[in-house]
Structure 1
Amino acid sequence: MAAAPGPDTPLDGRHVLVTRPEAQAGAFCAMLEQAGARVTRFPVIEIRGPRDPSGLRAALQGLAAYDIAVFVSANAVRRVVPEALARGPWPPGLRAAAIGASTARELAAQGLAPDIVPERRFDSEALLATDALQSVEGLRVVVFRGDGGREQLASTLRSRGAEVTHVEAYRRALPEIDPRQLRASLEAGGIDVVTVTSGESLQNLVKMLGPVTGETLWRTRLVVGAARVAERARELGFRADVVTAEDPTDAAMFRAVVGCLGG
């Protein structure tokens, strides 16, 4: 009879599927593995450069003209800040806003201290609720984001009187990965929990696995990074436990996985 998991290895013998983009998965996977889990990495989003880089180049050339630079993800930071700093020092009057803790940490890692970060929750609504973004009339704001994305941030800032420019810093694409091994694991009941942090990630996972595996996927426990992702999971057909983490950070997702698997 196998020994029960200990307090330091609450995920011993468990198999966790991680769908984060490859560049973002390392720390989360390490936390899971240190807790005893077997981890399968299956990135469902690949980060690529913008289709038309001219907008990003223009924004970087005129960066000093803005009052606030908003970064909607760690990927936006990785794509923008190194190139900006390669051109010269960060403009002294330009405040950097991060949509959440992961984005703020990436800014700090790139040598740029974030000026505006939500205290709780990590989404557009939380960023818009910060004191610094209440009185923005007449300010010029540049929002660095991926292709597409939600419009609420820009529309709300405009309604408060700001001049907002969207800049596509990167785009998301489906990775070219052979899903056959993962399909086999799912169909054999070998995956204990699937982790996803966004609705797009969830939809990509379903698309990459295909309809045959989908029925098995619906019966697999799921940990998500936001309530709206949980709602999307139910809409898609997930019938097993769907656990919503406090936020999509590594630490919160890890706690949710441990809780989901009975740790």
Structure 2
Amino acid sequence: MSSPRSSRRPAKPLAGRRIAITRAREQAPELTGKLTALGAEVLELPLIKISQSIDKQELADVLLEFGSYDWIVFTSANGVRHFFQEFFRIFDDIRSLGLLRFACIGPATAREIEALHLKVECMPKLATGGALAEALIATGSLDNAKVLVITGNLNRDELVQKLEAAQAIVDRLQVYKTEQAALDAEPAAAEFRERGADCILFASSSAVTSYADQAAALALSASARLPLAGSIGELTSETLTQRGIPIAFEAQEPSLDSLVTALVEKLGNR
């Protein structure tokens, strides 16, 4: 007679682990949800803050030429949200976009665009600016094409430089800014100082910079657990190295899912 199947469920791989995350407050829930579903205790340290930032004259210049653009390119989900917030303030009909083609850097950004019932025609397999430029070039549509790139204040130049080298005519429109968020008065910072964490996850270079700049406000007590540092990708790892923070692991692809997978491989209960 066979033994009865056990009713016990397998332990969640991050059960008993405390994970600190460093995304902006409004961005944290997605990553927090992924981690808590795996059993982790999550400590949110919003090291950066993101807000709309648009030069009204630059916006007016872009809108005057809006119908002449061939592509509109988004490098982040933040760019989509803040661009369309302003777009719908001015226009009351999505058809005012005309015949623009949409390109974006990765799945999270694509979801924001598709939520507006707009089709993404170009998205690279690797979510980086360089890969996005290569994917656009591969469409064969850039020679003398007009391209509008929606950016934040900290965007790197690689995307625009590659598009211009491919003979595209590129305009940039900044729609948001990323700034450091002071944590000295945050309850979560006090908990981090007192208890530390098993791991701290960095999903952007700006979060690394803010963490390093606020080292005094986040200094651990003698009894706190020193966290391992996990990086979402090459650019973030580069900043961690520059700021003297050892990297315990790096995501294989620059995405939250890949970062969580790397974390589980590093710390997961087996």
Aligning the two structures, in what range does the TM-score lie when normalised by the shorter sequence?
0.7 to 0.9
State the match for 1:33 in structure 2.
36
Partner of 2:175, secondary structure, is strand
Instruction: Note if contact 2:181-2:210 (Cα within 8 Å) is conserved in structure 1.
Output: no
Match of 1:236 among 234, 243, 246: 243
2:118 is the counterpart of 1:121: no
2:262 is the counterpart of 1:256: yes
Instruction: Note if contact 1:179-1:209 (Cα within 8 Å) is conserved in structure 2.
Output: no
Going from structure 1 to structure 2, the CA distance change for 1:89 and 1:227 (only over 3 Å counts) comes to same
Instruction: Note if contact 1:230-1:243 (Cα within 8 Å) is conserved in structure 2.
Output: no
Task: Report the alpha carbon displacement of residue 184 of structure 1 after superposing the two structures with TM.
Answer: 4.9
Equivalent position amino acid for 1:167 in 2: L
Going from structure 1 to structure 2, the CA distance change for 1:23 and 1:112 (only over 3 Å counts) comes to farther
Partner of 2:214, secondary structure, is helix
Query: What is the alpha-carbon distance in structure 2 between the residues aligned to residue 128 and residue 8 of structure 1?
Result: 43
Going from structure 1 to structure 2, the CA distance change for 1:15 and 1:212 (only over 3 Å counts) comes to closer
Partner of 1:110, secondary structure, is coil
Going from structure 1 to structure 2, the CA distance change for 1:115 and 1:214 (only over 3 Å counts) comes to farther
Q: Deviations over 1:109-150 (max 9, x none)?
A: 2332211111x2100111122155544111000000001421
Partner of 1:22, secondary structure, is coil
Identity percentage of aligned residues: 26
Task: Report the alpha carbon displacement of residue 168 of structure 1 after superposing the two structures with TM.
Answer: 0.7
2:235 is the counterpart of 1:245: no
Going from structure 1 to structure 2, the CA distance change for 1:73 and 1:246 (only over 3 Å counts) comes to same
State the match for 1:173 in structure 2.
179
Partner of 2:110, secondary structure, is helix
Partner of 2:161, secondary structure, is helix
Give the unaligned 5+ runs of structure 1: 1-5
State the match for 1:3 in structure 2.
none
Partner of 1:23, secondary structure, is coil
Going from structure 1 to structure 2, the CA distance change for 1:169 and 1:16 (only over 3 Å counts) comes to same
Query: What is the alpha-carbon distance in structure 2 between the residues aligned to residue 200 and residue 47 of structure 1?
Result: 11
Instruction: Note if contact 1:223-1:260 (Cα within 8 Å) is conserved in structure 2.
Output: no
Instruction: Note if contact 1:128-1:134 (Cα within 8 Å) is conserved in structure 2.
Output: no
Instruction: Note if contact 1:15-1:191 (Cα within 8 Å) is conserved in structure 2.
Output: yes
Query: What is the alpha-carbon distance in structure 2 between the residues aligned to residue 50 and residue 192 of structure 1?
Result: 36
Task: Report the alpha carbon displacement of residue 163 of structure 1 after superposing the two structures with TM.
Answer: 0.6
Q: Deviations over 1:4-51 (max 9, x none)?
A: xx6451111111111111222112101111211111111122111216
Match of 1:72 among 56, 72, 75: 75
Query: What is the alpha-carbon distance in structure 2 between the residues aligned to residue 114 and residue 11 of structure 1?
Result: 35
Instruction: Note if contact 2:126-2:254 (Cα within 8 Å) is conserved in structure 1.
Output: no
RMSD of aligned residue pairs (Cα, Å): 2.7
Instruction: Note if contact 2:193-2:221 (Cα within 8 Å) is conserved in structure 1.
Output: no
Give the unaligned 5+ runs of structure 2: 1-8
Task: Report the alpha carbon displacement of residue 249 of structure 1 after superposing the two structures with TM.
Answer: 2.4
Scaled by the length of structure 2, what TM-score is found? Answer: 0.84
Aligned residues: 257
2:53 is the counterpart of 1:50: yes
Matches for 1:98-177 after TM superposition, within 5 Å: 98-118=104-124, 120-130=125-135, 132-177=138-183
